[in-house]
Chains A and B, each alone.
Chain A
Amino acid sequence: MTATQERPADVQAEIGRDRRRKEDQRLITGRTRWTDNLQLNGMLHLAMVRSPFPHATITNIETSAAKDTTNVVAVLTGKDFGEELGVCINAWPITPDQKTPAHSPMPADRVAFAGEIVAVVVARTAAEARDAAELVEVDYEELPAALELKAAAAADENGGAIAHPDLGTNKSALWVFDSGEAGTGGDVEEAIASARTDGIVIEREYRQQRLIPAFMEPRSVVVDPTGEQLTMWSATQIPHILRFALAATTGVPESKIRVIAPDVGGGFGGKLQATPEEWITWAVARRLGKPVKYTETRSESLISAHHGRDQWQKLTLAAQKDGTVTGLKVELLADLGAYVALVGGGVPVLGAFMFNSIYKFPAYHFACQTVLTNKTWTDAYRGAGRPEATFAIERIMDELAVEVGVDPLEVREKNWIKHEEFPFTTVAGLEYDTGNYEAATERAKEMFGYDDLRAEQKRRREANDPVQLGIGISTFTEMCGLAPSRVLGSLDYGAGGWESATIRMLATGKVEVVTGSSAHGQGHETAWSQIVADRLGVAFEDIEVLHGDTQVSAKGLDTYGSRSLTVGGEALVRAADKVIEKARPVAAHMLEASVDDLEFTGGRFSVRGTDQGVAIGEIATAVFAAHDLPDGMEPSLDSEATYDPVNFSFPHGTHLCAIEVDTETGALKIRKYVCCDDIGTIINPLIVAGQIHGGLVQGIAQALWEEAVYDENGTLVSGSFVDYLLPTAADTINFDIDHTTSPSTTNTLGTKGVGEAGTIASTPAVVNAVVDAIRHFGVTDIQMPCTPERVWKAVNGGTHGGTEDTEGAAMPHFDEAEPGNSSTEGAGA
């Protein structure tokens, strides 16, 4: 009766195997379930009317013309809704006194960024809704807008514009960590003072430009209120968190809500949000009692889906003359945009633990001021806080090397934690469980041909070659696998960090795995199958992984922060182990043996020293029949585990980048990129490679191409894919990647996260390479993105970028003499 093949014990282990993905068959044949594909009977479509102004009072909204249009069902504004509209929540108030502006999904009185929704049109087709949205007339009274981060931060002193006048300040929260106070290290001011008299002090200011996650699938949401449960389909990373947030803010009992994340086309943190669009669609569907769909255009996505990064970072590094670091002080300004998003304020705080990176700083101080402005809200973008930290420390370590006069790898090695020193408690208070920076660096150098490239660099420099070669290094680490719930609690985060898994043993011996993680490109169906196949000894093909629907996967905390494998994977392992323990007495009963004489290998219980045995699939069948089970046994092998991690995981690696810089034109060419990452045990090397490649390009893109640019009117001028420069195949190169492995000791499989590693590591490697190529022109920094124009100016004007470029930074790609660039029209849906 069972179709399951038994797996011989000598069968190839699944973990470590480059399985082709289970997901792909559907995706390569167009048999996909994107939210926008859904059509339901009687479904209505929404179009949003958005503010073209960054800050304005809404004085009147005239909807009658739109309402009179054929097939328009309703036009609704903030005033038409009461509490059922709910609010957009901030789940992570980083300090008790954080200033958090009220955030209505559709404010009735005042808009706080260009792109904010002021009205919604409901029609029978999306095209009709969009046409009618053009007819909604909104009168605004413009208010002064807080736009530029530094100016907004100083508004208390200089009387500048206040993003939310009712708050009286743009300063949202000041979050501070001090190693002296925390007892994890010394006093940084002392370290700096003593380095000033007899050592090295390096002070730098770096800019983290504003970025846009730019997932390829525009956000889409469908709400069907016609069943007993209200169902929301959303292109989201976080179906479980959405369900909770809808219940908490819109008055619908959680048990009446079902949220489904069907196929989701990328997220990168950008779909880790509870959005106004979702809340409005929810409210309209409930109001009208009909299924409703909203799909954003790309231009809407770029102005309204949350942005990422956007910080100014001031660093003071103290060291002895030989390059031994003695202290690090970090002062950040972080632009929240118009609202404190779901985890918006917490993003820079995640970086707080990472500036010290792999180095043994004896003293550390971190302070982050979050600032409200009248721009699109910011929140997680791949790496979230850790790329910022890694960038700053890896840039300044290069500066230290220059100061000491040694190779940048040498100064790193002098200061990093040696492999024999693990586990190591850092000055930021984290315990790094494992790592081997020496091994990863050695392997990366070998792959790179480090010495040869240094020799070539020297030759070109001596020959005054117009094309100079730069070598950039990034020896990064990160903390991921978010996160131990207790740590989150101590940081005032509004939820835990556990993950859940259920394994259902079907009557035919097939297996259903239900996970609380919510993949949107990561290949969980494949990797999770590999883990369970090995653990239970069943065939890879016999496992079905279910996720992304709260009716199927009732418990979960979703996918972000490179957490799915280290946290969700461990939950899987534990659920599988429970299945085995439940099966054990049944096996003993079937084999008429004592449980103590049984061993479980390759999916089979056998009696030690005999050839008697029974496969787990056969046991599942017997349990289903339940004709002859041990007395009192519940007829089920199904098991659930919820795992709360005991620590973060700390992947690390050495990334090396060679860039050719044409000093006559400023043009850059990536010549070679090599990385050796230690991400612990690898489940599927093919998927890992894909995560690294994609991550690298996102990090490289921050270094070289991408920036969300606002003009002085508060309009996002890089508001379409014409102006926001996503890299293409023609801009990028092939990468050489490899791994060293020091398995994590905090989970059974020894895994570390990989989803964000490439992005976190690559940005400083690239910028370090660019600066290294032209340092002999007196260049010490180039502000990102390192456009040919900036590079050329740096070569021709010496030191450039960094703190000197505050003003121009607002419009680096555009001719400031041409106000025609900054159209405020067309912001309507």
Chain B
Amino acid sequence: MTRISLTVDGEKVSDDIEARMLLVQYLREKVGKTGTVIGCDTSNCGACTVHLNGQSVKSCNVLAVQADGGEVATIEGLATNGELHPVQTAFRECHGLQCGFCTPGMIMQSIDLLANNPHPTEEEVRVGLEGNLCRCTGYHNIVRAVMYAAEHGSSDSVQSEGASA
């Protein structure tokens, strides 16, 4: 057992965990952050995407101990004071989700994409989301949602989400 301490969606947490525990398991099983989901066992689907220290990561591909001392942001911490993050709004507005299983990962990845490239072309969005699988939407409306967020979302809120309380 190893002790780790980190912040998850702005709250401090600390636990004794097995060294082999994946970050996604830690989030789901220990912190109760079941908004982040597991879609595969080969790091292909991106459903588990969160931000670690401001960067998107596939949390099934990171050990929980690697997040020790870090800041993790999940889908559950995005909305502040009941206000949706612009990318969340864009997904709803553009019907960028159906079953919603890929959605937490898609949104977290899209935020990262827009943080690095606030005004992407459609092609850049498609390539930027290549690591996230969706079986429902055919991606058409997901791509539209990211383009919409780029157009309508304030880049401030895009950048500040990592530290949101």
Indicate if the CB atoms of B101 and A687 lie closer than 8 Å: no
Indicate if the CB atoms of A216 and B38 lie closer than 8 Å: no
Chain A residues, Cβ within 8 Å of B157: none
Indicate if the CB atoms of B143 and A734 lie closer than 8 Å: yes
Chain B residues, Cβ within 8 Å of A214: 135
A750 within 8 A of B: no
Stretch in contact with the other chain, from A31-39, A193-201, A454-462:
A31-39
Chain A residues, Cβ within 8 Å of B126: 728-730, 732
Chain A residues, Cβ within 8 Å of B134: 216, 729
Indicate if the CB atoms of A216 and B138 lie closer than 8 Å: no
Dominant SS among interface residues on chain A:
loop
Indicate if the CB atoms of A25 and B143 lie closer than 8 Å: no
Q: Which of B18, B78, B97, B136 contacts A24 (CB 8 A)?
A: B97
A686-B98 contact in complex given A299-B41, A694-B135, C-beta closer than 8 Å: no
Chain B residues, Cβ within 8 Å of A799: none
Give residues 214-252 of A contacting B (CB, 8 Å).
214-218
B52 within 8 A of A: no
A687 to B38, CA, bound (A): 26
Instruction: List the A residue with the shortest CB-CB distance to B35.
Output: A30
A268 to B107, CA, bound (A): 23
Indicate if the CB atoms of B41 and A729 lie closer than 8 Å: no
A750 to B153, CA, bound (A): 39
A728-B130 contact in complex given A30-B35, A34-B34, A298-B45, C-beta closer than 8 Å: yes
Instruction: List the A residue with the shortest CB-CB distance to B107.
Output: A28
Report the minimum CB–CB distance from A13 to chain B (whole Å).
20
Indicate if the CB atoms of B137 and A21 lie closer than 8 Å: no
A722 within 8 A of B: yes
Indicate if the CB atoms of A218 and B99 lie closer than 8 Å: no
Indicate if the CB atoms of B99 and A520 lie closer than 8 Å: yes
Q: Which of A32, A694, A734 contacts B100 (CB 8 A)?
A: A32
Chain A residues, Cβ within 8 Å of B132: 728-729
Indicate if the CB atoms of A721 and B127 lie closer than 8 Å: no
B13 within 8 A of A: no
Indicate if the CB atoms of B141 and A690 lie closer than 8 Å: yes
Indicate if the CB atoms of B44 and A721 lie closer than 8 Å: yes
A50 to B37, CA, bound (A): 24
Give residues 5-41 of B contacting A (CB, 8 Å).
18, 25, 28, 33-41
Report the minimum CB–CB distance from A414 to chain B (whole Å).
33
Indicate if the CB atoms of A217 and B34 lie closer than 8 Å: no
A32-B44 contact in complex given A693-B140, A729-B125, A730-B130, C-beta closer than 8 Å: no
Indicate if the CB atoms of A217 and B99 lie closer than 8 Å: yes
Chain A residues, Cβ within 8 Å of B102: 216
Instruction: List the B residue with the shortest CB-CB distance to A213.
Output: B135
Chain A residues, Cβ within 8 Å of B101: 34, 215-217, 265-266
A266-B136 contact in complex given A20-B95, A24-B97, A28-B100, C-beta closer than 8 Å: yes
Report the minimum CB–CB distance from A215 to chain B (whole Å).
6
Chain B residues, Cβ within 8 Å of A693: 137-141
Chain A residues, Cβ within 8 Å of B18: 127
Instruction: List the B residue with the shortest CB-CB distance to A18.
Output: B95
Instruction: List the A residue with the shortest CB-CB distance to B125.
Output: A729
Max count, chain B CB within 10 A of own CB: residue among A30, A32, A734:
A30
A27 to B106, CA, bound (A): 12
A32-B34 contact in complex given A217-B39, A728-B130, C-beta closer than 8 Å: yes
Max count, chain B CB within 10 A of own CB: residue among A25, A29, A37, A266:
A29
Indicate if the CB atoms of A695 and B138 lie closer than 8 Å: yes
Q: Which of B37, B44, B122, B131 contacts A217 (CB 8 A)?
A: B37
Chain A residues, Cβ within 8 Å of B95: 20-21, 686-687, 689-690
Indicate if the CB atoms of A20 and B93 lie closer than 8 Å: yes
Report the minimum CB–CB distance from B87 to chain A (whole Å).
9
Indicate if the CB atoms of B133 and A297 lie closer than 8 Å: no
Chain B residues, Cβ within 8 Å of A263: 99-100
A32 to B37, CA, bound (A): 10
Report the minimum CB–CB distance from A126 to chain B (whole Å).
8
A24-B91 contact in complex given A31-B35, A34-B101, C-beta closer than 8 Å: yes
Report the minimum CB–CB distance from B33 to chain A (whole Å).
7
B79 within 8 A of A: yes
Indicate if the CB atoms of A694 and B104 lie closer than 8 Å: no
Report the minimum CB–CB distance from A683 to chain B (whole Å).
14
B72 within 8 A of A: no
Indicate if the CB atoms of B142 and A27 lie closer than 8 Å: no
Interchain Cβ contacts under 8 Å between A and B, 29 examples? A20-B92, A24-B91, A24-B92, A28-B75, A28-B84, A29-B76, A29-B84, A32-B35, A127-B18, A215-B135, A266-B135, A299-B41, A299-B42, A521-B98, A521-B136, A523-B98, A690-B137, A694-B137, A696-B138, A720-B44, A721-B42, A721-B45, A722-B44, A728-B126, A729-B132, A729-B139, A729-B142, A734-B122, A758-B138
* 17 additional A-B residue pairs with CB within 8 Å, beyond A36-B37, A216-B133, A217-B39: A23-B100, A27-B97, A28-B100, A31-B76, A216-B39, A216-B135, A265-B101, A266-B101, A266-B136, A297-B41, A520-B99, A696-B138, A697-B138, A720-B44, A728-B130, A729-B139, A730-B126
